[in-house]
């Protein structure tokens, strides 16, 4: 897994970020979602390297082997703004001051925040299987609340930690054949760590509070994505079922939007790596 890539831990102040990086050419930063680690990109990253890119795959703050500060009452320690700042610092430490960016699921919310807060660093951004958090919350329906109930369960104080840590293997189900055995083993080690579980829950708690407020403040101030934006979604997931055309929603956030669906379930980097790599490489260019 990740043959030819280097692994290191980079201190960015209040957090230490585990990162894999390899290849040569224009830099591409890949941000994973919940409850995965950087290993979720193990099939996509080599394909992008073969297409001429340098690829950087970090574990987000608190996920996998990355560590951040203790949770705070206002959840700011795990806000997307803090995670985005981590990633900018990681890229600078690796010598990349401008880069292409892709984020999946919760990593998509991080990618949005990074591109909004650090527009000079991001040449192009791809958001996968996600909408801005505030757009999800503005469209709550019984169907959304039923399918995405975990958002609101995770926000409860204390209870989800006790439930999940009592049997993380049953809670965080994963198929080693579909994920790849090494990716699955890394995922299993991470989700079996109570500190990682707490950080992942804080990600969601921040989402329903400070991240939503930060997005709403940007909308009120007219802050938009100025770089080209690619929106990709898994056709066997529920984004279209719940919201219709995701491009229509993203056009309220970005000046230049294009995208399409991919025949995959939610974990597209593991289930349809060739199609995803083709889409990203075509968008990110030489």
Residue 254 and residue 286 in contact, taking contact as beta carbons nearer than 8 Å: no
**C-beta separation of 197 from 168 below 8 A:** yes
Catalytic residue among 59, 86, 105, 203: 105
CA 93/CA 268 separation, integer angstroms: 29
User: Maximum CA pair distance of the chain?
Assistant: 48
Cβ neighbourhood burial of 76 (10 Å; 0-12, 13-18, 19+): middle
Specify whether 211 is catalytic.
no
Q: Given the residues 117, 118, 184, 266, select the one marked as catalytic.
A: 266
Residues with Cβ within 8 Å of residue 89, at least 6 apart in sequence: 10, 12, 13
* Interior/surface letters 159-184, b for 16+ CB within 10 angstroms, e for the rest: ebeeebeeebeeebebeeeebbeebb
Let me know if 260 is a catalytic residue.
Answer: no
Q: Output DSSP code: residue 211.
A: I
Label residue 105 left, alpha or beta by phi (over 0 means left) and psi (-120 to 50 means alpha).
Answer: left
Gap between the Cα atoms of 110 and 98, Å rounded: 16
Catalytic residue annotation: 105, 266
């Amino acid at each position: 897994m990740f043959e030819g890539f280097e692994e290191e831990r980079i201190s960015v102040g209040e957090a230490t970020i585990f990162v894999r990086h390899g290849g040569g050419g224009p830099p591409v930063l890949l941000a994973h979602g919940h409850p995965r680690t950087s290993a979720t990109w193990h099939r996509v990253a080599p394909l992008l390297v073969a297409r001429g890119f340098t690829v950087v795959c970090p574990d987000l703050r608190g996920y996998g082997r990355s560590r951040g500060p203790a949770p705070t009452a206002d959840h700011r320690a795990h806000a997307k703004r803090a995670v985005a700042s981590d990633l900018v610092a990681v890229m600078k430490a690796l010598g990349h001051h401008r880069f292409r960016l892709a984020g999946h699921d919760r990593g998509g919310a991080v990618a949005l925040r990074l591109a909004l807060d650090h527009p000079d660093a991001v040449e192009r951004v791809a958001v996968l299987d996600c909408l801005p958090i505030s757009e999800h919350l503005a469209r709550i329906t019984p169907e959304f609340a039923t399918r995405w109930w975990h958002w609101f369960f995770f926000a409860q104080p204390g209870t989800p930690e006790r439930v999940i840590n009592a049997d993380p293997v049953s809670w965080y189900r994963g198929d080693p054949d579909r994920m790849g055995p090494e990716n699955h083993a890394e995922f299993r080690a991470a989700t079996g760590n109570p500190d990682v579980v707490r950080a992942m829950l804080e990600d969601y708690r921040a989402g329903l509070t400070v991240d939503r407020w930060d997005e709403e403040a940007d909308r009120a101030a007219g802050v938009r994505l100025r770089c080209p934006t690619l929106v990709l979604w898994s056709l066997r997931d529920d984004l279209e079922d719940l919201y219709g055309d995701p491009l229509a929603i993203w056009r309220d956030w970005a000046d230049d939007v294009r995208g399409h669906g991919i025949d995959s379930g939610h974990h597209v980097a593991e289930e349809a790596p060739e199609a995803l790599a083709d889409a990203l490489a075509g968008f990110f260019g030489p």
